[in-house]
Structure 1
Amino acid sequence: MILHELIEFDTLRVIWWLLLGVLLIGFALTDGFDLGVGALLPFVAKTDTERRVVINTVGPVWEGNQVWFILGGGAIFAAWPSLYAVSFSGFYLAMFVVLAALILRPVAFTYRSKREDTTWRTAWDWALFVGGAVPALIFGVAVGNVLQGVPFRLTDDLWAMYEGGFFGLLNPFALLAGAVSVAMLLQHGAAWLTLKTEGPVSQRARTYGSVAGIVAMAGYALAGVWLLFGIDGYTLVDDVVRNGPSNPLHSEVAKGVSWGASYTARPWIAIAPLLGFVGMAMAMRGLRAGREVSTLLWSKLGIFGVISSVGLTMFPFILPSTIDPRSSLTVWDSSSSHLTLFVMLVVTVIFVPLILLYTAWVYKVLWGKVTEDDVTSNSESLY
């Protein structure tokens, strides 16, 4: 038996669907609080010293947190090439905006404190705000569009043809999803700041985080109702050959059913949105009660539930097509080859635990609060 045949092709496809979700959730749980902190910076910190405190809570870890973003992009490229082709071409301008905003972060971290000038530092503080708020918004908008379907089609030789435009992505449901994303990550950033700061900064973070939690839960509830009763879902009409070659055009897809059918077929997936609501509600309660570690953990649970609910609701669809449902990408017909998925899995099993161990060690070393004395009297303070 060939080694990669030890795991069935359809099983590998599901494993990589799960791993893609793990990588995206990992990015949201780690770099998500970095984005939230950046977006909160001009509001929770009033003096230059307070802003330096806020920046130093994420300064040592933000680069490592972005590893999950890079791994997610790499996984899409290698495991789901059709998804990569459609999304990275159709969402090209949106991704350019995200990358431009993310590029602002390292530049702002590096140059913000190089001069004493107030105008100079304020400008870079707002650059950090843009670098946090804009990606959070666009990531949510992207998810909103994926749930509705994207205007693309596949030619007979499987060339992906995207027929939409940038401003078409900014539809009402997608903007609502973007608002939920921003509010959710603001709450996550506030939870991080309550853990890492003290005094007025921590208190303001609790206030803003509590408001963000209310907005996130209300927006998530509204988006859920809208999705189930106001947006057409997709379903596979015929039996799919789950071990077959990757060719979406071999499947028959129907549009017009409710995504709620997923919950009828698999009632257990309702645990995902439940975890989303519980996590956000308990994080908001923790913010108001002055708790620290548990608040951050509840916030992580809320994010896990929200993102998981998207993937579980859509399964087995990864990217539906609005103009040609037959071109919709699913877990069963848009992956790389059996051998490719197996080799990637072996590499992942080896290196992801190492990344997790290193990340845990870094956070252990950096455990503790960042104080004003740390940034004013410590010559080793970077920002």
Structure 2
Amino acid sequence: MILHELIDYETLRLIWWVLLGVLLIGFAATDGFDMGVCTLLPFIGRTDLERRTIINTVGPVWEGNQVWFILGGGAIFAAWPPLYAVSFSGFYLAMFVVLAALILRPVAFKYRSKHADTQWRSRWDWALFIGGFVPPLIFGVAVGNVLQGVPFRLDPTLRAFYDGSFFGLLNPFALLCGLLSVTMLIMHGSAWLALKTSGTIAGRARTVGLVAALATPALFALGGLALYLWIDGYRISSAIIADGPSNPLLKSVETAPGLWFGNYARWPLLLVAPLLGLIGPLLVWYGLKAGREVGTLLVSALSLFGIIATVGVSMFPFILPSSVDAASSLTVWDSSSSHQTLFIMLVVTLIFLPIVMAYTAWAYRILWGKVDPDAIRDGQGHHY
């Protein structure tokens, strides 16, 4: 027996769908609080020392957190080539803006304290704000557009054609999703600052976090209501061939409002995801109010898991629906790499992902504890 046949094609496709979700959630839970902290920086930090303290809560870990973003992009490229081709082509300008914003962050970290001038440092603080605010906003807008269907089509030779525009992405539902994305990461960043700082900074972070923890489930519920009442969902109306060739045009698809909720009727256990998205932020609100720092951060991460997982399980098996030609929509079953490629990638992932997770856990263990403003003021150690 050939080794890769130990796991059938259908199972491999499902495993990689789950792994892609794990990588995206890992990125949101780790680099998400980095972006939340950078978004809050100009507003919570009132003095230069306070802003340096805030920066030093994420400065030592942000590079490691970026690994999840790189792994997610790599997984899309290798496991779902059509998804990579269509999404990165259609969202090219949006992705360029995201990368430009992300590039600002390391530059600002390195250059902010190179010069003592107040205006110099203020400009870099706002650069960090852009690096924290813009990516989650655009990621949320992109998810909102995916839920509505992306304007692409495939010709008989499976060449993809994108019929949309950048400004067409900025529709009301997509902007609502973008606002939800920013709000939930502000909540997450507030929970991180409450854990890593003390005194005035932690108090301000809790105040902002309390507001964000209430706004997050409200926006999440509003988005769900809009999705149920007004936005077309997708459903495969022909026979599903889970182990067939990667050819999206071999199926039929129907659309109608409310279809994105069909999986919850078939598998009620999946309701755990939206419930986490609704209840989790309320528990974050309680944790911030009660001063339970570690538990609050963990619950905040679970909230992010619930919100992101809700999108995945609602759309399953679709990963990129088409609003122009529903039959061209990409699904888990018809847009993956070959059986052998998925198996080889799985073996590599099973070897290296635990190493990445172990190193991440070790790094956080070494850096555990609150950032000391006095050490930063006195120039002790290596601080930003």
Question: Which interval holds the TM-score relative to the shorter structure?
Answer: over 0.9
- How far apart are 1:381 and its partner, in Å? 2.6
Runs of 4+ in 1 over 6 A off after TM superposition: none
SS of the residue aligned with 2:308?
Answer: helix
Structure 1, residues 77-130: CA drift from partner, whole Å, max 9, x if none? 000000000000000000000000000000000000000000000000000000
Would you say 1:103 and 2:103 are equivalent positions? yes
Superposition pairs of residues 255-266 of structure 1, within 5 angstroms: 255-258=255-258, 259-266=260-267
SS of the residue aligned with 1:113?
Answer: helix
Would you say 1:148 and 2:148 are equivalent positions? yes
Contact 1:26–1:68 (CA<8 Å) still a contact in 2?
A: yes
Structure 1, residues 153-209: CA drift from partner, whole Å, max 9, x if none? 011111111100001111000000000000000000000000000010000000001
The 1-side partners of 2:353 and 2:327 are apart by: 35
The 1-side partners of 2:4 and 2:77 are apart by: 20
Structure 1 vs Structure 2: percent identity of aligned residues? 66
SS of the residue aligned with 1:64?
Answer: helix
Contact 2:230–2:257 (CA<8 Å) still a contact in 1?
A: no
SS of the residue aligned with 2:203?
Answer: helix
- How far apart are 1:10 and its partner, in Å? 0.4
Aligned to 1:339: 340
The 1-side partners of 2:320 and 2:257 are apart by: 16
State the TM-score, normalizing by the size of structure 1. Answer: 0.99
Aligned to 1:65: 65
Aligned to 2:272: 271
The 1-side partners of 2:39 and 2:300 are apart by: 17
- How far apart are 1:214 and its partner, in Å? 1.3
- How far apart are 1:378 and its partner, in Å? 3.4
Structure 1, residues 200-236: CA drift from partner, whole Å, max 9, x if none? 0000000001111111111001001111111100000
Counterpart code for 2:347: V
The 2-side partners of 1:371 and 1:140 are apart by: 34
Aligned to 2:300: 299
Over the residues paired in the alignment, what is the CA RMSD in angstroms? Answer: 0.8
The 2-side partners of 1:165 and 1:270 are apart by: 34
Would you say 1:359 and 2:360 are equivalent positions? yes
Would you say 1:226 and 2:226 are equivalent positions? yes
SS of the residue aligned with 1:112?
Answer: helix
Counterpart code for 1:59: G
Contact 2:39–2:132 (CA<8 Å) still a contact in 1?
A: yes
State the TM-score, normalizing by the size of structure 2. Answer: 0.99
Contact 1:235–1:257 (CA<8 Å) still a contact in 2?
A: no
Contact 2:101–2:131 (CA<8 Å) still a contact in 1?
A: yes
Would you say 1:240 and 2:240 are equivalent positions? yes
Contact 2:228–2:257 (CA<8 Å) still a contact in 1?
A: no
Contact 1:186–1:209 (CA<8 Å) still a contact in 2?
A: yes
- How far apart are 1:257 and its partner, in Å? 4.6
Q: Name the stretch that deviates more: 27-36 or 135-144.
A: 135-144
- How far apart are 1:266 and its partner, in Å? 2.1
Contact 1:37–1:186 (CA<8 Å) still a contact in 2?
A: yes
- How far apart are 1:240 and its partner, in Å? 1.7
Unaligned runs of 5+ in 2: none
Would you say 1:36 and 2:36 are equivalent positions? yes
Contact 1:374–1:381 (CA<8 Å) still a contact in 2?
A: no
The 2-side partners of 1:262 and 1:131 are apart by: 36
The 1-side partners of 2:134 and 2:375 are apart by: 30
Superposition pairs of residues 1-383 of structure 1, within 5 angstroms: 1-258=1-258, 259-383=260-384
Structure 1, residues 331-367: CA drift from partner, whole Å, max 9, x if none? 0000000000000000000000000000000000000
